[in-house]
Amino acid sequence: MLDITGLSHRYDDGHQAVDDIELSVEGGELVSIVGPSGCGKSTLLRCVAGLQRPSAGRITVGGRAVEGAVPPNLAVVFQDYTRSLFPWLTVRDNVALPLRRHGLGRAERRARAAKALAQVGLDGTGSRYPWQLSGGMQQRVALARALAYRPSLLLMDEPFGSVDAQTREDLEDLLLAVRGGPAGEGGPAGEGGPAGEGGTAKRPPGRMTILLVTHDIDESVYVGDRVVVLTGAPGRVHSDLRVDLPAPRDRVATRGLPEFVRLRAEVGRAVRRP
Partner 1 sequence: MTGPARAGAGPGPEPRAPARALLRPGALVSRRWGRALLGALGAGGAVLVLELLARGGAVDDDALPPATSVLARAAGMAVDDGFLGHLGTTVSAWLGGLALAVALAVPAGLLLGSLPWLDRAGLAVVELARPVPSVALIPLAILVFAEPVRVERSLVCYAALWPILLNTLYGLRDVDPVAKETLRAFGFGAPAVLVRVSLPSAGPFVLTGVRIAASVGLIVAVSAELRAGGDSGLGVYLLQTQSGGGRPDLMVAGAVWAGALGTAANAVLVGAGRLAFPHSARAAAGRGG
Chain positions 144 to 183 lying near partner 1, rule: CB under 8 A, are 149, 155, 167
| 49 lies in the site for partner 1, by CB under 8 A | yes
Q: Report if residue 261 touches partner 1, rule: CB under 8 A.
A: no
- 127 is a site residue for partner 1 (CB under 8 A): yes
Q: Binding to partner 1 by residue 72, rule CB under 8 A?
A: yes
Give dist(CA 230, CA 232) in Å, integer: 7
According to the binding rule CB under 8 A, does residue 96 interact with partner 1?
A: no
Question: Cβ of residue 136: shortest distance to partner 1, in angstroms?
Answer: 5
CB of 177 to partner 1, least distance (A): 15
Q: Give least dist CB 119 to partner 1, A.
A: 14
Which member of 32, 125, 152, 231 binds partner 1 (CB under 8 A)?
125
Q: Judged by CB under 8 A, does residue 87 bind partner 1?
A: yes
263 sits near partner 1 (criterion: CB under 8 A)? no
Of 137 and 263, nearer to partner 1 (C-beta) is 137
* Per-residue three-class SS string for the chain: CEEEEEEEEECCCCCEEEEEEEEEECCCCEEEEECCCCCCHHHHHHHHCCCCCCCEEEEEECCEECCCCCCCCEEEECCCHHHHCCCCCCHHHHHHHHHHHHCCCHHHHHHHHHHHHHHCCCCCCCCCCHHHCCHHHHHHHHHHHHHHCCCCEEEEECCCCCCCHHHHHHHHHHHHHHCCCCCCCCCCCCCCCCCCCHHHHCCCCCCCEEEEECCCHHHHHHHCCEEEEECCCCECEEEEEECCCCCCCCCCHHHHCHHHHHHHHHHHHHHHCC
Q: Which is nearer to partner 1, 77 or 267 (CB)?
A: 77
Q: To the nearest whole angstrom, how small is the minimum distance from the Cβ of residue 78 to partner 1? A: 6
Q: Which of 3, 38, 51, 245 binds partner 1 (CB under 8 A)?
A: 51
Report the site for partner 1 in 29-48 (rule: CB under 8 A): none
**What is the radius of gyration, based on Cα positions, of the chain?**
18
Count, residues near partner 1 per rule CB under 8 A: 37
CA-nearest of 248, 215, 180, 238 to 79 is 215
Residues β-bridged to residue 32: 212, 227
Q: Is 108 in the site for partner 1 (CB under 8 A)?
A: no
Please, what is the minimum distance in Å from the beta carbon of residue 202 to partner 1? 23
Binding residue for partner 1, selected from 44, 74, 217, 228, defined by CB under 8 A: 74
Q: Which residues contribute to the site for partner 1 (CB under 8 A)? A: 49-51, 70, 72, 74-76, 78, 80, 83-84, 86-89, 97-98, 101, 121-125, 127-129, 131-137, 149, 155, 167
